[in-house]
Chains A and B, each alone.
Chain A
Amino acid sequence: MSDVLSLIIAKYNYWLYVILMMIGLYGMIAKNNLIKKVVGMNIFQTAIILFYVSIGYKTNAGIPIITTADTAHGVVVKAADYINPLTSCLMLTAIVVSVATFGYAMALAVRIYQRYQTLEEDELRMRLSEE
């Protein structure tokens, strides 16, 4: 039991990301309201960002920016002193994508509401089958 527990504690970041991601996925599959689904989608994407950012973390390392003091004395830059800049860079892209998708999905929700006066999926299905 304590082995399993220590395994979880050593990698709790991955557990957190999976749990967050599953909350989002559940929202997207099971919720009936379109806005709730969109919010679920946003949580789902945020979980991936958490995953990537946690990959980049290193124990005892600082942010990936050289201060002027470092450069002035010509100190050799060591990789272990800075966290991984690549994952942060990749997630900048992923954040932008999720913001763009979220904004556009909201615009679609506005449009659907204008047309059908509802955002509940079962009501929408009923309206569509009536026509």
Chain B
Amino acid sequence: MENYPALIVVAPFVTGLLAGLFVWIEKRLSYPIVLAGLFISSFSAVQVLIRVMESGPIQYKMGGWSPPIGIEYRIDLLNAMVLCLVSGIAFLNLIASYRSAEKEIGDRVSSYYTVYNLFLTGLLGVTITGDLFNLYVLIEITSLTSYAQVAMGDRDRGPLASLNYIFIGVIGASFYLLGVGYLYMYTGSLNMADVAVLIKGSQGSSTVLVAFILCILGIWIKMALFPFHVWLPNAYTYSPVIFARVVAPLMTKVMVYIMLRLMITVFGYDYIFNTLNLSDAVVWLATIAVLAGGVMALAQKNLKKMLTYIIVSEIGYMVGGAWMGNQLGMTGAILHILNDALMTFALFLAVGNMVYRIDRVDITDLKGLFGKMPWTMAGFVLAAFSIVGVPPTCGFFSKWYLILGAMEKGAYHFAAALIISSLICAVLFFKVFEICFFESGSHGHDHSSHGPVAIEEAPVSMLIISGLVSLSLIVAGFYSGAIVNTIILPFLK
């Protein structure tokens, strides 16, 4: 089937709309429709990955027009990997969050699924497209659906967080759009591969320089790299669990992917690292981002908010690795896209289970949780180990590559920042474990303090997904050598 690339994006899109239609006819149908759409999408993504690994990059022409006249999809190993990741996580999350979404969103949940699927259409489309302007349109779909979903969480704080997110998101997207405009002015084309050919040899052009800075700056704002991160913690903390679980692992990683795509495919290594020589400055910025994220995480009292600051810190890892300018750093950054998405997903699955049972997740609310929710906590511990970077889990391996890359370039400050941030994460998580393990729950003061604590676990469907994803962290750790050799290194060649 040569139409798999189109199906990856079109299936969630069409099913999302169908769900929107069925809200008004038969509400109960919208959930299975949406689920089927995401299943088709992940199935197609896996098929595409297999075909790319066998026979090289795939090109798909939308409307039958060949580029640069029409819009094309161009899928290589990096795309294909991110596509599998996005669609897989979205599918699993939809199964895992069925109950929590009903509890949190209530009677509007069937319309909500439409927005959920449109959000994923946006993320998948951003990943797969080979056209600069199409990328902008899909970034806007992703953003608009995120604004809508953030506002649906906390009734009091959600709308304000969402509005602040809109202001900063619009500036980011508009900078990107302006950058594309400047590029178009210089080349007359919007296709990534075509633009790359046309700007070759334009080393001194001020137009290309401004376009480059605008595009990268826009993506950084959308990605929430350190000085631009102000919108992220509030937006992710006050959003409903079903959305937090999918946006926290995916949004920032997809934006990192776009940055890599712009760096590798459009502007090229040569322009960035030899002509402009920006590597040192950006690695310093990333170092500050890693440390700042960690320090701000230490100051938080709410578990969800603490995790969002860890995400800010992790963005620093990937940006630093990508701008290291050597193969090891780039390998680390790409591997970390995969690993960090899985780790964050596992963490937020566990947090979602806690929210389902105890509603508020201030750190002091977590007392005695090991006794109450043993399985959830097991998943949480595994994910936390991976974030810290304990060896058999996958978090260790990407950090290892990043540190090797930093050493090779001589950026010892970045390597040191990585190690310090691991220590900070260790401190953070052990503080949480201590409260969960040693201090007993506040209810059991009078009579039940001697007996075993009653187990109040989350529903089985949530637990199974949470367990699977946590185990996948170890599996990804064992196979990380294979992933590097079959996907990342052939891509970077």
Give B112-143 interface residues, CB cut-off 8 Å to A: 133, 137, 140
Is B184 touching A55 in the complex (CB atoms < 8 A)?
A: yes
Docked complex Cα distance between A97 and B184 (Å): 20
B140 CB contacts on chain A under 8 angstroms? 97, 101
Residues of B within 8 A of A128 (CB): 157, 160
> B residues within 8 A CB of A44?
170-171, 174
Residue A111 at the chain B interface, CB threshold 8 Å: yes
B160 touching A124, Cβ below 8 Å: yes
Q: How far is the CA of A51 from the CA of B133 in the complex (A)?
A: 15
Is B177 touching A115 in the complex (CB atoms < 8 A)? no
Shortest C-beta distance, A121 to chain B (Å), equals 9
Kindly state the separation between the CA atoms of A120 and B137 in the bound complex, as whole angstroms: 32
Beta-carbon contact of B167 and A28 below 8 Å:
yes
Which residue in B137, B151, B174, B178 is a CB contact (below 8 Å) of A111?
A: B151
Are A48 and B162 in contact, with the CB atoms below 8 A? no
- With A37-B167, A112-B159: A94-B177 Cβ-Cβ less than 8 Å: yes
Which residues on the B side are within 8 Å of A55 (C-beta)? 181, 184-185
- Interface flags, B50-81, vs A, CB<8A=1, else 0: 00000000000000000000000000000000
When C-beta atoms are compared, the residue in chain A nearest to B144 turns out to be A100
Interface SS of chain B: helix
Q: Is the CB of B166 closer than 8 A to any CB of chain A?
A: yes
Interface assignment of A104: CB less than 8 Å from any CB of chain B: yes
Provided the pairs A93-B137, A124-B160 are in contact, do residues A104 and B174 lie with their beta carbons within 8 angstroms? no
Any A CB within 8 A of the CB of B404: no
For A, the interface residue count at a CB cutoff of 8 angstroms equals 28
A16: chain B residues within 8 A (beta carbon):
none
User: Interface digits, B172-186 against A, CB 8 Å rule (1 contact, 0 not)?
Assistant: 001001100100110
Indicate if B163 sits at the interface (CB-CB under 8 A): yes
Q: A129 CA to B395 CA in the complex, in Å?
A: 37
Is B2 in the interface zone, CB < 8 Å from A? Answer: no
Given A48-B177, A97-B137, are A28 and B162 neighbors across the interface (CB < 8 Å)? no
Complex Cα–Cα for A111 and B171 (A) = 23
- The one of B151, B159, B181, B185 in contact with A48, judged by C-beta atoms closer than 8 angstroms, is B181
Bound CA–CA A7/B181 (angstroms): 21
CB pair A41–B148 under 8 Å, yes or no, is no
A100–B147 alpha-carbon span in the complex (Å) = 12
Q: B156 near A: Cβ within 8 Å?
A: yes
Q: Is the CB of B160 within 8 A of A52?
A: no
Bound CA–CA A108/B148 (angstroms): 9
Q: Pick from B147, B157, B177 the residue with the most CB of A within 10 Å.
A: B177
Q: How far is the CB of B153 from chain A (nearest CB, A)?
A: 13
CB distance from A22 to the nearest CB of B (A): 12
Instruction: Decide: B159 and A111 in contact? CB cutoff 8 A.
Output: yes
The one of A34, A41, A51, A131 in contact with B181, judged by C-beta atoms closer than 8 angstroms, is A51
**Residues of A close to B155: CB separation below 8 A:** 115
Which of A90, A100, A112 contacts B160, CB < 8 Å? A112
Do B156 and A115 touch across chains, with their CB atoms under 8 A apart? yes
Nearest A residue to B134, CB-CB: A93
| Complex CA distance for A90 and B140, rounded to whole angstroms | 14
User: Is there a chain B Cβ closer than 8 Å to A20's Cβ?
Assistant: no
Partner of A45, one of B159, B160, B163, B174: B174
Q: Mark A43-63, 1 if CB is under 8 A from B, else 0.
A: 011001001100100000000
Which residue in B148, B171, B178 is a CB contact (below 8 Å) of A51?
A: B178
A23 CB-CB contact with B under 8 Å: no
Note all chain A residues with C-beta closer than 8 A to B167.
28, 37, 41
Task: Enumerate A1-41 residues with CB–CB distance to B below 8 Å.
Answer: 25, 28, 34, 37, 41
A105 near B178 (CB under 8 angstroms)? no
- Would A101 and B148 be within 8 Å (CB), given that A34-B163, A115-B159 are in contact? no
Cβ A28 vs Cβ B171 within 8 A: yes
Q: What residues of B have a CB within 8 angstroms of the CB of A87 in the complex?
A: 184
Q: Is the beta-carbon distance between B184 and A108 smaller than 8 angstroms?
A: no
Q: A101-B166, A101-B170 are in contact. List 19 more A-B contacts (CB 8 A).
A: A28-B171, A41-B166, A45-B170, A45-B174, A48-B174, A48-B178, A51-B178, A51-B181, A55-B181, A55-B185, A93-B133, A93-B137, A94-B177, A101-B140, A101-B144, A104-B148, A115-B156, A115-B159, A124-B160
Q: Would you list the 6 A-B pairs with minimal beta carbon distance, nearest first?
A: A111-B159, A108-B163, A97-B140, A108-B159, A112-B159, A105-B166
Binding site for A on B (CB under 8 A): 133, 137, 140, 144, 147-148, 151, 155-157, 159-160, 162-163, 166-167, 170-171, 174, 177-178, 181, 184-185
Q: 12 pairs across A/B with beta carbons < 8 Å?
A: A48-B174, A48-B177, A55-B184, A87-B184, A93-B133, A94-B177, A101-B144, A104-B144, A108-B151, A115-B156, A128-B160, A131-B156
